[in-house]
Structure 1
Amino acid sequence: MIFVTGGTGLVGCHLLVELAKKQQPIRALKRKTSNTKAVEDFFTQKNASQFYQFIHWIDGDLLDVTELPELLKGIETIYHTAAFVSFDERQQEQILQTNINGTEALVNETIDSQVKEFFFIGSIASMDDINPATKKIDERSGWNNSLTHSSYAISKFRAEMDVWRASQEGIKIIIINPGVIIGSLDGKRESERLFYQDSFINKYSPSGGTGFIDIRDVITILLTLVEQKTYNQKFILVAENKSYKDVLNLVAVKNNIKLKSISNSSLKLIKGLSIINRIFGGQYMSKANYYSLTSFVEYDNSKIKNLLDYDFISINDAIDYHYSHYQKQISTK
């Protein structure tokens, strides 16, 4: 049986559709407060309603280690997609607990329950060192403790280290490290803020850039790696390295918004003022946040392209597809 964490999230929901099509029983973990209606609706949108029956939802919490033996009873394969994605340092405790402690507990029980396979959705945020030959970050890039990192980056790095620990105990693992995922679901996800008309981030562009990828590519590649049993390796999943300005402008044009640039000096001023704002419980722009917005780090996707002879969906096409889907979702609300 397959076990999926984070099944109500963007990655988890897309993954469940494709796994269910294989008509294998799936145990999907959710919190008691999570609503599965969006997942069921998404199956309908994908003309996959007949496969929804293969999902058995179960309430639970990875941080409750007393529940885990029962949750993993009879499980052979785990897809760990659950994560708390946030760059708001006010949520540091929840980020670290969910992403680090939750993964550690799941890995421990995976070993104890003799689960055979563990597939992990990591992040490019967990890699630092640039290859001097290519001037890009690749799968050999390590973690540089001398740099300032966000709590999210720290949590994904430490979670990944726990997954590698599982491989040392004989568990077959695959780690994928996607870039910024472009995707749509029900019009309510944090990742869909990219498409909001009234969002500040869609009106002002910082100077930096990073790697981007369509959610459809993430799922297709992961399942292909699993099918080919490409175990005990990690893979950077980035379709294109693009500036924030280029990506945001693709959305701005659709929203009839004229994108404005925000200078590094202006961001530095905002960062300084946010320190005062933090005293009163407001959002804070950390040094790590400032660095990510003002630097353009490129990622090397040649390993996965060469292995699978894979052609990624262009970011332009990704924006077109998911913007259209997002608009359909909000028009029906």
Structure 2
Amino acid sequence: MVFVTGGSGLIGSFLIPALVAQGHAVRALYRRQIPRLVGAEQVEWVEGDVLDILVLRRALEGVTHVFHCAGLVSYAPQDEDALQQTNVEGTANVVDACLDRPGIRLCHVSSVAALGSAAVSAEQAPGVAQELTEDAKWDLGAEHNAYATSKYLGELEVWRGVAEGLSAVMVNPSVVLGPADWERSSTRLFRYAYNEHAFYTPGNINFVDVRDVVDAMLHLTLQTAVSGQRYILSAGAVPLHDFLAQAAACFGKKAPSIAVPDWAAEIIWRAEHARSVLTGARPLITKDTARAGRKSVVYQSQKVQQATGRGFRPLADTIHWCCQNVKQNSVGSGVVVVY
């Protein structure tokens, strides 16, 4: 029996059908409504929230493996408390519920954001990308955004569980790409390309196909007994402009052509912050998102490739797959609904 949190998210929505296809008995947590997924009728759905420890403890009865995919991704200042609750307290609850049932094996979905960033040496040439591995150390004295901090603290809860005897692995995906509701998460990048926006920010994007994420999670959790390890899941890095240009071309749209300089981005995020304070609306761009691409970072994934014996899909294949699925599910004038 496998238990999954975050079944309505991008990773969970592909993980659950994969588990069902492999013949596993699946139990999954949902909050408002049961997600529309392939094989959803074969899943035992449990209504609740990762903040409800009693629901989690009951849900883990008879369970052998847990995939903790539930998490909040946000860079909006209004969500700092929610990030702490979902990504830290929620993870602590999952860990505690697992510890109450000896023998359970946990796979926790973290993020490359939890790795922090490497220190720039005096000898490092400007513009040269920093390369980070799973051994990257979190700099307690550095400035980190609320999302990264919440994912790091969530990982600490899993490490605590391992110290108390829990068998657990962690995966740290970069930007996960896949066809989904393009009003949410990374899939908004495809909406941006589809709508032919003219502007883009300089910098790179590290990416990974959601199918590769699911394959790695299944292998590490169900086919190995390794514990107390984390694995970066990232297929590579490309300039953001190149990504948007490829996505736009796949849609038959015009690629963005105007680079936003750093000084303009600084003005924009400040203006958006003021607008959000006055109106209560969420900012379209924040300080963290405006500055995200300035540090050129490449996440190394040799560890997981050695552990699984598998590589990653190339970006062109992922973009083509995503765009085709978005097109097939489009309704009305550019409104897209994907499940």
Normalised to the residue count of structure 1, the TM-score between the two structures is 0.88
Q: How does 1:225-264 map to 2 (within 5 A)?
A: 225-226=220-221, 227-255=223-251, 256-259=253-256, 260-264=258-262
Matched, 1:78 2:76: no
- Amino acid paired to 1:257: K
Q: Work out the CA distance in 2 between the residues paired with 1:215 and 1:162.
A: 25
The offset of 1:199, in angstroms, is 7.1
Matched, 1:301 2:301: yes
Gaps of 5+ in 1: 44-48
225-234 vs 239-248, greater mean Cα deviation: 225-234
Answer yes or no: is the 8 Å Cα contact 1:148–1:288 preserved in 2. Answer: no
Answer yes or no: is the 8 Å Cα contact 1:174–1:231 preserved in 2. Answer: yes
Q: Work out the CA distance in 2 between the residues paired with 1:67 and 1:181.
A: 29
The offset of 1:191, in angstroms, is 2.9
Matched, 1:166 2:161: yes
The offset of 1:23, in angstroms, is 1.6
SS of the residue aligned with 1:108? helix
Match of 1:130 among 92, 110, 118: 118
Q: Work out the CA distance in 1 between the residues paired with 2:231 and 2:265.
A: 32
Q: Work out the CA distance in 1 between the residues paired with 2:42 and 2:2.
A: 10
**C-alpha spacing 1:245/1:169, structure 2 compared with 1 (3 Å):** same
Q: Work out the CA distance in 1 between the residues paired with 2:281 and 2:69.
A: 29
**C-alpha spacing 1:115/1:230, structure 2 compared with 1 (3 Å):** closer
Answer yes or no: is the 8 Å Cα contact 1:202–1:251 preserved in 2. Answer: no
Show CA shifts across 1:270-322 (max 9, x none).
Answer: 12323422321244454433321322211111212233332210112111111
- Amino acid paired to 1:289: T
Answer yes or no: is the 8 Å Cα contact 1:194–1:202 preserved in 2. Answer: no
The offset of 1:86, in angstroms, is 1.5
Show CA shifts across 1:190-232 (max 9, x none).
Answer: 3321221577795421112231000011011111222133322
Root mean square deviation of aligned Cα: 2.3
Answer yes or no: is the 8 Å Cα contact 2:266–2:287 preserved in 1. Answer: no
Answer yes or no: is the 8 Å Cα contact 1:205–1:261 preserved in 2. Answer: yes
SS of the residue aligned with 1:3? strand
Q: How does 1:84-123 map to 2 (within 5 A)?
A: 84-123=72-111
Aligned residues: 321
The offset of 1:265, in angstroms, is 1.3
Q: Work out the CA distance in 1 between the residues paired with 2:281 and 2:181.
A: 28
Q: How does 1:172-251 map to 2 (within 5 A)?
A: 172-185=167-180, 189-196=184-191, 203-226=198-221, 227-251=223-247
Q: Work out the CA distance in 2 between the residues paired with 1:200 and 1:147.
A: 37
The offset of 1:14, in angstroms, is 0.5
The offset of 1:233, in angstroms, is 0.9
Match of 1:267 among 248, 265, 270: 265
SS of the residue aligned with 1:196? helix
**C-alpha spacing 1:63/1:201, structure 2 compared with 1 (3 Å):** farther
Q: Work out the CA distance in 2 between the residues paired with 1:137 and 1:287.
A: 23
SS of the residue aligned with 2:231? strand
Answer yes or no: is the 8 Å Cα contact 1:148–1:287 preserved in 2. Answer: no
SS of the residue aligned with 2:237? strand
Answer yes or no: is the 8 Å Cα contact 1:176–1:222 preserved in 2. Answer: yes
The offset of 1:115, in angstroms, is 4.6
Q: Among all aligned residue pairs of Structure 1 and Structure 2, give the percentage whose two residues are the same amino acid.
A: 26
Answer yes or no: is the 8 Å Cα contact 1:10–1:189 preserved in 2. Answer: no
Gaps of 5+ in 2: none
**C-alpha spacing 1:64/1:244, structure 2 compared with 1 (3 Å):** same
Q: Work out the CA distance in 1 between the residues paired with 2:198 and 2:28.
A: 38
Match of 1:143 among 132, 138, 144: 138
